[in-house]
Amino acid sequence: MTSPSASTLSSSRPAVIAFDLDGTLVDTAPDLLDTLDIILEVAGAPPLPREETRRMIGAGAKALVRRGLDAAGISVEPEAFEGLYARFLEHYADHIADSSRPFPGLIAALDELEARGHVLAVCTNKLEHLSRLLLDRLDLSSRFKVIAGADTFPVYKPDAGHLIGTVERAGGDVRRAVMVGDSMTDVLTAKNARVPVIVVPFGYTETPAEELGGDALIRHYDMLPETVDRLLAGG
């Protein structure tokens, strides 16, 4: 008897679709940036324009606070920075779903992916407890077999280990997975893990979505199920 080939093994498991969170599943910018404004005020700076701060989202809350202070021309000692960051996390947790909502068509697309037998997971640079809190508030947590944040594994996006760990914990195999994201961080992560990546253009990115180098770009979530299945089929 011959042992099953690697491809047979991987195709017998359900495909795992790993989603970025901020700017991909949920439009979190209003609550994140309201919180940033409050932290800037505490640090003695006026609020920054939203077009500028929206693009600062994507590398986690610590990077957002750091980028905001830098753009406002405020430099603080490490200890003061940690205090501002702690205050950011506290305020944000209390307001995490004030205005943050899933992007249009998301729920129907998740329903359809589940109906097609795919397993859903979250791979985000948001801290895990904040990711769970947000998804709980929006009644979305139960949809995802795994919610992996920036602090879930020893590494985080764009390190391939974050995506590989997410897919494996969801019971899948990276050879049968798709990443969905909004930023260069997501595209690099997927490429590092050799996973095809779908880009959404409604999120937060410095580089225009069309120029991120994803394998596919969808302008609305109604295009997601067929795009996922095309990429899983190698197309």
Ligand X SMILES: O=C(O)COP(=O)(O)O
- Binding site for Mg(2+), by residue number, is 20, 22, 182
132: left (phi over 0), alpha (psi -120 to 50) or beta: alpha
Q: Does 22 interact with Mg ion (rule: CB under 5 A)? A: yes
Q: Can you give the length of the chain in residues?
A: 235
Gyration radius of the chain's alpha carbons = 18
Q: Specify whether 34 is catalytic.
A: no
Rounded Cα gap, residues 15 and 195, in angstroms: 12
Judge contact between 20 and 28, C-beta under 8 A: no
Q: Does 54 interact with ligand X (rule: CB under 6 A)? A: no
Q: Does 31 interact with Mg ion (rule: CB under 5 A)? A: no
Of the pair 50, 235, the CB lying nearest ligand X is at: 50
In the set 18, 20, 33, 218, which binds Mg ion (CB under 5 A)? 20
End-to-end CA distance of the chain: 32
Q: Does 27 interact with Mg ion (rule: CB under 5 A)? A: no
Q: Does 21 interact with ligand X (rule: CB under 6 A)? A: yes
> Tokens 């095809």 identify what position?
196
User: Could you tell which of ligand X, Mg ion, none binds residue 125, using a CB distance below 5 to 8 A set by kind?
Assistant: ligand X
From the candidates 20, 27, 173, 186, give the one annotated as an active-site residue: 20
Annotated binding site: 20, 22, 182
Rounded Cα gap, residues 148 and 121, in angstroms: 8
**Which residues are the active-site residues?**
20
Where does this chain bind Mg ion (CB under 5 A)?
Answer: 20, 22-23, 58, 182-183
